[in-house]
Structure 1
Amino acid sequence: MRPTLLLLRLFIAWLVLAVVACIWENLVLLWQIGGGALLFAMLVDAFTLPRRGRITGKRSLPGRFALGVESPVTLTVTHAASRTLNLELFDGIPTAAEAVDLPCRVTIPPGEYAALSYQARFLRRGQHVFTPAHVLATSAFGLWKNRHFVAGESETRAYPNYEPVVRFAMLAMANRVEQMGIVKRRRMGASLDFHQLRDYQDGDVLSRIDWKATSRRSTLVSRDYEETRNQTILLVPDCGRRMRALDGGLSQFDHCLNAMLLIAFIALRQGDEVGVVGFGGVQRWLPPVKGAHSMPKLLNHLYNYEASNEPSDFIEAAERVMTLQRRRALVILLTNLRSEDGATLASAVAAMQRRHLVLTATLREQELEQRAAASIDHLQDALQYGALTHYFGERRQLMESLRARRVLTVDESAQMLPVALANKYLDVKAGGLL
């Protein structure tokens, strides 16, 4: 039980009256009557507070939360008191979440309930726990409040933001993937397997006409091909400390996870299998899985990946890939390259290229590009611009050295990485490089 602001104001007024009564003795009786009345009101009002267990509630959570995306949470509160209750509620949200609509106030008549909804947004992936909600109930005269705990604990998970994946699926159903910037590549023969024979249709390429079947049936017959399937895509995310840098409100590691989800969805949809090998403080391994039904398995494996405080060791990553993945695969290394990575990265890529096709996807810091594009007004701005120019030059040299070694590369900002990586994967499939 705690006093309200109204009670504190009344008590302060009574103290002021006591000071005045010390000056004018005629007010002493009034001060005594006022004190007695206030004490009596406090005692009577304390008995109007609802007892423990008279206020109950339950919490309704969405099936899953997406990182950085607001999702509704509903608290349903009821009470067994015989009068109308004025309540103040604050849900026990996890430390990794935020909600701008809390605390909230509600008035509940006897025999009724209140369903309160607010938007919660998680700032960190993983498994989280909502603790019991705090409810402050006000007494009849408004002099006291007491606290109740309702709704109990609720476990939930915050997954990477898979909105680009859902958006791609919806556009793909409408045959409009180009609206995302993902370009459907013209398939070359090297990446296609024979599927079946069918009747010739207007627009078929003449090279696909099966002349032996045509001579037997006395009508044009075309060969039908399907894209090569059962290939392996191995995602190798850098979980080291360099990926902890924030970019647009999310860490670079979270942006990498978003790109991984999109490329995994496309690959599984095309009949390929997808595996995951973490490095840089995270020694986790998901053997390649296949089929669109495997997407939830990938989500459950990736949702609690976190960037560690350890350095990124590309040699270690190459050794793990060569040990765990025996079959030839497209190895997609997702990181944020630095100029000092040249020697170790070259050795690691060379080791993996003996068996696999390697694609290095690196993130560009959008904040650094914005600083480089800002106007130069002072000496400090000029020095900063010079340092950034030197940094970008070293980065370009590193990417050119990788291309010279015939390593596939993607160098994009965090926001554009998912689409750029998807287009690169489709290029690999179209060219039959794998």
Structure 2
Amino acid sequence: MTVPQPDSWQTPAPLHPTQGLPTLPRCSLIPTPRLLSGLAGWTLFGLLSVVWPELTVWWLLAGGLLGACVARDAFALQRRPPLAAGRVLAPALPLGVWHPVRLRFDNPQPQPATLTVFDHYPSAAAECADLPQRLTVAAGGWIELTYRLRPLVRGEWTFAPVQVWLDSPRGLWQRNDRLGEPTTVRVYPDFAAIARYLRLTADRQETLLGIHRRRRRGEGRDFLQLREYRIGDSLRQIDWKATARLRKPIAREYQEERQQTVLFLLDCSRRMRAQDDALSHFDHALNALILLAYVALRQGDAAGLHGFGGERRWLAPRSGPGMLPALIDGVYQLQPTLESPDYVEAVRLLLARQRKRALVVLLTNLRDEDQDELRPAVALLRRRHRLLIANLREPILDDVLEQPIHDLSQAQLYATTCHYRLRRERVQEELRQHGAIVLDVPPDRLPAAMVDRYLDLKRSGRW
């Protein structure tokens, strides 16, 4: 699978709209409301003939004419060839984003075709708007309709053939056809939102995401060059030998160290099933993971993944532009499980696979009872790696504390929330004392917070 660059992620792959004729057999004919209304009128006419027997002949004559018209209409519809149909859809869709889907219908017959259309999208994984639709295709012509689709579950999903109810010439019958071929799409984490974030950041600060390498005086680890001393430089930067030789203050200039490693430790346990908006905490974590991986790869670093908590997934750290598609392919089908997280086991497996020092980014949802289990896990990691814990905080906690208090129940809820947050903050403070960097932010702010902290570490050289 090849994932395009962010600027082209929104461009759908072209499909031939007329490809694929119906592959399923046509169903039996269905009477329309018009036919049912005619039959109801004829039945009422028969009741009248009971009261006035002289109307019986006319009732029988009307029945014969109606039967002949109905039979002829059904015969004409049954003999009519189906339309050609095709679906134009991007092969990769971002999660939680409304996306247009186009359906095209070709009518090669010399008569117009009136039909009602419903597309069998994967209803378990998406929601749609603007379906069903009713339209008329001109004789020998074609028509396109568009409806909107929003994927809600990541993974690989299949669209069944389009369902079409084709009207008979007189509108008395409908034929249920299945047109076109099934279409398989992949639903990825919200790369569209990531692309928008990247463009917004570039407008605000063009060098934030490594588009232009930033050089900072006295920061970084890799030596770059010698230059004249400037006001604000650290005394540690002065090169005394060059200063004595040139008889003026000379300072060393450094650049950010490259070819480092960012390793994501992704929690796939039941903790990440929490959901505050259209996306779960796990989906927010994947969005932040992909964004930070993109930034790290642009900075020349390597990125890798270790999943734990019921779903074990290992992607060895690699650098280069090909790693981002591999990373997205490796996580787009991951779903949080019902198991509990085992931080110590996850750390031991990571240490056995990753010998080189790395920035380990733990994406999880901490609880106050995790203190006893996290303490030995952090102690194991800090011996060889730098640990950044990205904790997703439930936005409802902030909402409760911002609400005014009017009665006893609200006061009790406020006190309980404060107590819960205090216990969580104590756990986070203890983790900081053990050498971990802890981020505690709402899910929608996690991507920006992780990127900012990563760049701070790159600038300071405290990897």
Structure 1 and Structure 2 fold alike (TM over 0.5): yes
Closer/same/farther in 2, CA of residues 46 and 268 from structure 1, 3 Å limit: same
> In structure 2, which of residues 286, 291, 296 is the aligned counterpart of residue 257 of structure 1?
286
Give the C-alpha shift of residue 366 in structure 1: 1.0
Q: Which residue of 1 aligns with 2:199?
A: 170
> In structure 1, which of residues 222, 229, 242 is the aligned counterpart of residue 271 of structure 2?
242
- Structure 2 gap segments, 5+ residues each: 1-28
> In structure 2, which of residues 342, 346, 350 is the aligned counterpart of residue 321 of structure 1?
350
Give the C-alpha shift of residue 50 in structure 1: 5.9
Amino acid of the structure 2 residue aligned with 1:62:
A
Q: Where do residues 403-418 of structure 1 align in structure 2 (5 Å cutoff)?
A: 403-418=432-447
Q: Does the CA-based 8 Å contact 2:393-2:442 persist in structure 1?
A: yes
Amino acid of the structure 2 residue aligned with 1:33:
L
Give the C-alpha shift of residue 125 in structure 1: 0.7
Amino acid of the structure 1 residue aligned with 2:61:
I
Closer/same/farther in 2, CA of residues 52 and 157 from structure 1, 3 Å limit: farther
Give the C-alpha shift of residue 161 in structure 1: 0.6
Q: Does the CA-based 8 Å contact 1:188-1:431 persist in structure 2?
A: no
Q: Does 1:155 align with 2:181?
A: no
Separation in structure 1 between the aligned mates of residue 329 and residue 296 of structure 2, nearest angstrom: 18
Deviates more, 1:358-367 or 1:185-194: 185-194
Q: Which residue of 2 aligns with 1:60?
A: 88
Q: Does the CA-based 8 Å contact 2:117-2:131 persist in structure 1?
A: yes
Separation in structure 2 between the aligned mates of residue 249 and residue 316 of structure 1, nearest angstrom: 32
Secondary structure of 2:341's counterpart equals coil
Separation in structure 1 between the aligned mates of residue 422 and residue 249 of structure 2, nearest angstrom: 58
Q: Does 1:228 align with 2:257?
A: yes
Separation in structure 1 between the aligned mates of residue 231 and residue 168 of structure 2, nearest angstrom: 81
- Structure 1 gap segments, 5+ residues each: none
Q: Does 1:73 align with 2:91?
A: no
Q: Does 1:86 align with 2:119?
A: no
> In structure 2, which of residues 322, 329, 335 is the aligned counterpart of residue 306 of structure 1?
335
Q: Which residue of 2 aligns with 1:375?
A: 404
Secondary structure of 2:340's counterpart equals coil
Q: Does the CA-based 8 Å contact 1:230-1:272 persist in structure 2?
A: yes
Give the C-alpha shift of residue 395 in structure 1: 1.1
Closer/same/farther in 2, CA of residues 118 and 35 from structure 1, 3 Å limit: same
Q: Percentage identity across aligned positions?
A: 39
Deviations 1:23-82 (A, max 9, x none): 332332332222222211110111221647531111111141000011222211112322
Secondary structure of 2:119's counterpart equals strand
Amino acid of the structure 2 residue aligned with 1:253:
F
Q: Which residue of 2 aligns with 1:31?
A: 59
Give the C-alpha shift of residue 21 in structure 1: 2.5
Separation in structure 1 between the aligned mates of residue 225 and residue 79 of structure 2, nearest angstrom: 76
Give the C-alpha shift of residue 389 in structure 1: 2.3
Q: Does the CA-based 8 Å contact 2:439-2:449 persist in structure 1?
A: yes
Q: Does the CA-based 8 Å contact 2:215-2:254 persist in structure 1?
A: no
Separation in structure 1 between the aligned mates of residue 97 and residue 231 of structure 2, nearest angstrom: 46
Q: Which residue of 1 aligns with 2:383?
A: 354
Amino acid of the structure 1 residue aligned with 2:140:
G
Separation in structure 2 between the aligned mates of residue 392 and residue 186 of structure 1, nearest angstrom: 39
Closer/same/farther in 2, CA of residues 281 and 368 from structure 1, 3 Å limit: same
Closer/same/farther in 2, CA of residues 386 and 13 from structure 1, 3 Å limit: farther
Q: Which residue of 1 aligns with 2:14?
A: none
* TM-score when normalising by structure 1: 0.90
Separation in structure 2 between the aligned mates of residue 157 and residue 113 of structure 1, nearest angstrom: 29
Give the C-alpha shift of residue 174 in structure 1: 4.9
Amino acid of the structure 1 residue aligned with 2:369:
E
RMSD over aligned CA atoms reads 2.8
Deviates more, 1:386-395 or 1:211-220: 211-220
Separation in structure 2 between the aligned mates of residue 337 and residue 265 of structure 1, nearest angstrom: 25
Amino acid of the structure 2 residue aligned with 1:149:
R
Separation in structure 1 between the aligned mates of residue 314 and residue 117 of structure 2, nearest angstrom: 43
Deviations 1:223-261 (A, max 9, x none): 553210111111111111121111221101001111111
Deviates more, 1:56-65 or 1:19-28: 19-28
Give the C-alpha shift of residue 179 in structure 1: 9.6
Separation in structure 2 between the aligned mates of residue 202 and residue 343 of structure 1, nearest angstrom: 49
Separation in structure 2 between the aligned mates of residue 289 and residue 162 of structure 1, nearest angstrom: 21
> In structure 2, which of residues 55, 58, 70 is the aligned counterpart of residue 42 of structure 1?
70
